């Protein structure tokens, strides 16, 4: 890249990390600021004192077709920290009937697996799957349920659980078009794009720590406990970043990637519209060993639990779009969810093992047609400010893949801006740009703060 400028990345979730590693890889000078004392945001691991082991804040599943996540893992050298079956296999159990089946799409794009009853969802016929094409042509305000057949077994056993997992929104409210995009990038590309991948150790060990190590190796500056409080704008540019104890000047050739959650971005950027309705996710982590032969994960229908994950010393369960659960007491949830986990894994119903319940009330924005209209584009009216985060309009739901794609896109946009404009940024006089900067006098929030040299 021709510009010697620094890129300031605020927020060290996956979007910020992805932007930072892509920029560092391209040779840019990067400073990464994070308000907490750790990176990873909504996707990380930590030591749980009660369970006495490390757990992930939530269960996250990647698919081999998540091309942005795969590119990120390549950049940070962490692809081999994931494990998963060599084939696209998705074991399910229906707790209402006791039936078990394994969805097994074939590797190629021609979906001949639909013709084989042993590869389909139990109790479904091949032609029913073709109805999914209605999602492709759906109106912008159509929901998944508007396009599919809510009374069908296929809906209850496949379309609904996948919609809830991918959109964190029930099929009756989730955007049909967004769901189509998810299916197009995964099932639509054949089983080779649907190989399930889970972190062997934990989310941080796979997605966060290797990124920080890569950034350190490239000389990037990572600053924790650095909460961005205010952005100083002048004309068409960001000119300064105001943190708790310091103000950072943003030079003419610098760029800023704002990779904070949507509500924080809306507070920092004037007139920024963002999705403002969020859905909860509940996770239960049980300190217990799963019986030998238990698959890495099991889809559960007909119960309260949705996806059960087997980990080394933990069995975890996730319930997305968990509006009906999130206000229940944790003791009650531990028992209710364990009943389903025990049935799914063939474990005794009593006693309930030691358990940690994690409720994320605002896990992601709801992927409804109304909320999608509020997603901003990454470029802003300030020509050195880019947005990244799972809420930005990536055409994907709020997922690891969406967050990483937004970060990579912000890095790419900066590369393009730099190439397009060459050194034009330098030509703008700083004095002229600052002329409509009105923060002076007693209200000047810069008073008493250290001004940091980069």
Ligand X SMILES: Cc1cc2nc3c(=O)[nH]c(=O)nc-3n(C[C@H](O)[C@H](O)[C@H](O)COP(=O)(O)OP(=O)(O)OC[C@H]3O[C@@H](n4cnc5c(N)ncnc54)[C@H](O)[C@@H]3O)c2cc1C
Give the binding site for ligand X (CB under 6 A).
Answer: 10-16, 33-36, 41-43, 57-61, 227-228, 259-261, 264, 281, 283, 360, 363-364, 389-390, 398-401, 403
User: Contact 32/15 with Cβ under 8 angstroms?
Assistant: no
Give the end-to-end CA distance of the chain in Å, rounded to a whole number.
Answer: 19
Work out how close the CB of 333 gets to ligand X at its nearest, in angstroms, rounded to a whole number: 14
Q: Which is nearer to ligand X, 41 or 376 (CB)?
A: 41
User: Contact 398/295 with Cβ under 8 angstroms?
Assistant: no
Work out how close the CB of 422 gets to ligand X at its nearest, in angstroms, rounded to a whole number: 30
Work out how close the CB of 407 gets to ligand X at its nearest, in angstroms, rounded to a whole number: 7
Work out how close the CB of 42 gets to ligand X at its nearest, in angstroms, rounded to a whole number: 4
Q: Which is nearer to ligand X, 114 or 358 (CB)?
A: 358
Work out how close the CB of 293 gets to ligand X at its nearest, in angstroms, rounded to a whole number: 24
DSSP, res 206: I
Q: Which is nearer to ligand X, 58 or 210 (CB)?
A: 58
Q: Which is nearer to ligand X, 135 or 248 (CB)?
A: 248
User: Contact 9/429 with Cβ under 8 angstroms?
Assistant: no
Work out how close the CB of 426 gets to ligand X at its nearest, in angstroms, rounded to a whole number: 28
Work out how close the CB of 429 gets to ligand X at its nearest, in angstroms, rounded to a whole number: 29
Q: Which is nearer to ligand X, 59 or 186 (CB)?
A: 59
User: For residues 76 and 73, what is the distance between their CA atoms, to the nearest angstrom?
Assistant: 5
User: Contact 319/350 with Cβ under 8 angstroms?
Assistant: no
Sign for the pseudo-dihedral over CA of 413, 414, 419, 423 = positive
Q: Which is nearer to ligand X, 120 or 311 (CB)?
A: 311
**For residue 385, what are the β-bridge partners?**
256
Rg (CA), the chain: 23
Q: 196 CB contacts (<8 Å, ≥6 apart)?
A: 61, 62, 63, 84, 85, 88, 89, 90, 296, 297
Report DSSP letters for 107-175, one per residue: SSSS-GGGG-TTTS-TT--HHHHGGGHHHHT--TT-BHHHHS-TTSHHIIIIIHHHHHHHHSS-TTTSB
Q: Which is nearer to ligand X, 36 or 429 (CB)?
A: 36
Q: Which is nearer to ligand X, 29 or 60 (CB)?
A: 60
The SS3 call for residue 448 is coil
Work out how close the CB of 39 gets to ligand X at its nearest, in angstroms, rounded to a whole number: 6
């Amino acid at each position: 890249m021709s510009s010697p400028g620094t890129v300031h990345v605020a927020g060290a979730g996956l979007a910020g990390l992805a932007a930072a590693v892509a920029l560092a890889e391209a040779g840019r000078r990067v400073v990464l600021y994070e308000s907490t004392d750790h990176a990873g945001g909504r996707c990380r691991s930590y030591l749980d004192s009660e369970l006495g082991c490390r757990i992930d804040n939530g269960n996250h599943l990647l698919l081999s077709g998540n091309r942005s996540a795969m590119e990120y893992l390549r950049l940070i050298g962490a692809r081999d920290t994931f494990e998963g079956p060599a084939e696209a296999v998705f074991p399910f159990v229906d707790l209402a009937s006791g039936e078990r089946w394994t969805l097994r799409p074939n590797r190629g794009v021609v979906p001949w697996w639909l013709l084989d009853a042993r590869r389909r969802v139990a109790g479904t016929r091949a032609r029913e799957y073709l109805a999914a094409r209605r999602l492709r042509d759906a109106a912008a305000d159509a929901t998944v349920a508007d396009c599919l057949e809510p009374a069908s077994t296929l809906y209850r056993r496949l379309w609904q659980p996948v919609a809830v997992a991918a959109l964190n929104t029930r099929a009756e409210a989730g955007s049909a078009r967004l769901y189509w995009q998810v299916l197009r990038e995964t099932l639509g590309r054949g089983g080779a794009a649907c190989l399930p991948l889970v972190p062997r150790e934990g989310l941080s060990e796979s997605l966060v720590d290797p990124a920080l190590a890569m950034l350190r190796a490239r000389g990037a500056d990572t600053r924790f406990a650095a909460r961005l409080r205010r952005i100083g704008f002048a004309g068409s540019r960001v000119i300064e970043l105001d943190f708790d104890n310091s103000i950072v000047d943003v030079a003419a050739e610098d760029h800023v990637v704002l990779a904070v959650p949507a509500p924080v971005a809306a507070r920092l950027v004037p007139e920024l519209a963002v999705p403002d309705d969020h859905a909860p996710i509940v996770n239960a982590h049980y300190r217990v060993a799963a019986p030998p032969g238990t698959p890495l994960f099991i889809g559960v229908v007909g119960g309260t639990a949705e996806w059960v994950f087997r980990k080394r010393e933990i069995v975890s369960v996730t319930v997305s779009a968990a509006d009906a659960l999130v206000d229940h007491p944790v003791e009650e949830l531990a028992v209710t969810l364990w009943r389903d986990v025990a049935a799914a894994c063939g474990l005794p119903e009593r006693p309930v093992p030691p358990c940690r319940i994690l409720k994320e009330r605002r896990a992601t924005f709801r992927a409804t047609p109304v909320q999608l209209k509020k997603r901003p584009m990454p470029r802003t009216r300030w020509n050195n400010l880019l947005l990244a985060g799972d809420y930005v309009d990536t055409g994907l739901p709020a997922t690891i893949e969406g967050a990483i794609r937004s970060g990579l896109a912000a890095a790419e946009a900066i590369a393009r801006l730099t190439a397009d404009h060459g050194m034009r940024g330098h030509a703008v006089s700083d004095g002229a740009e600052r002329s409509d900067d009105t923060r002076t006098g007693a209200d000047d929030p810069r008073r008493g703060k250290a001004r940091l040299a980069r």
